[in-house]
Amino acid sequence: MPDVLVMAFKLLLAGLLGGFVGYEREVHEHPAGLRTHILVCMGAAVFTLVSVSFGRNSSDPSRIAAQIVSGIGFLGGGAILRQGNIVRGLTTAASLWTVAAIGMAVGIGGPSYYALATFATGIVFVTLSTVRGIEPSLGKTQSCKFSFDIPEHRFETLADIIEELTSKGAVIQSLAGSEPSEGCRTVVLRMKLPRGMKPEYVLQLLSGHPELGHFECS
């Protein structure tokens, strides 16, 4: 009975730590969210528990552990999406791979491995939730999506805006427009901003055209 309680504790801890990372992915609407990270972490813990049990019978416990690493690689590959020259989902794939490692540490058990798993979870969460905000200051470009309404007969304004932004180093990634409604279309412009250009600058540029309306940035 004590062994059953220990295994149940490990599964609960793995689910909690995996969910902690998955919560951040869920909030930002990434392909793999809360449920996926919980299941990956708990699954890795279960496989590790089974592997350790096999090891007691003189089998090689590292065989199952190795298959966890390669199997999660395939799962993470499913989260990676390619749209033209843009690749998305790499960070989510890496977070899945990491929570699998956290689940393996919980599955092995012991105070040192519990501490390792908890500390690793904290580092992953901080990395995912805070590093995004300082990346622009490190010289990395920032991708933003802007949406606004534009009258159908004023599309030359859109051309002028795009020309000004690209002349300052912005890269247009995608441009889409909704069906016309009451003489207006909603335009969604996704672009990569160069170092030093903030989303507020683009919003200010858009607000300088009185014919445009309903500005949003995400």
pLDDT for 110-156, tens place per residue? Answer: 899 999 999 999 999 988 888 766 655 555 567 788 888 888 777 77
CATH 3.40.50.150 assigned to domain 142-217? The reply is no
Q: What is the mean pLDDT of the chain?
A: 79
Instruction: Give mean pLDDT, residues 188-197.
Output: 81
- Mean pLDDT is highest, among 15-29, 55-69, 188-202, for 15-29
Confidence of residue 57 (pLDDT cuts 50, 70, 90): low
- 203 pLDDT more than 90: no
Give the pLDDT confidence score for residue 106 in this predicted structure.
Answer: 93
User: Is pTM beyond 0.85 here?
Assistant: no
SS (H, E, C) the chain: CHHHHHHHHHHHHHHHHHHHHHHHHHHCCCCCCHHHHHHHHHHHHHHHHHHHHHHHCCCCCHHHHHHHHHHHHHHHHCCCEEECCEEECHHHHHHHHHHHHHHHHHHHCCHHHHHHHHHHHHHHHHHHHHHHHHCHHHCCCEEEEEEEEEEHHHHHHHHHHHHHHHHCCCEEEEEEECCCECCEEEEEEEEEECCCCCHHHHHHHHHCCCCCEEEEEC
Task: Give residue 84's pLDDT.
Answer: 46
* Domain spans in the chain, listed from the N-terminal domain onward: 2-134, 142-217
Q: What mean pLDDT comes out for the span 83-96?
A: 68
- Ranges 69-83, 84-98, 169-183: which has the least confidence: 69-83
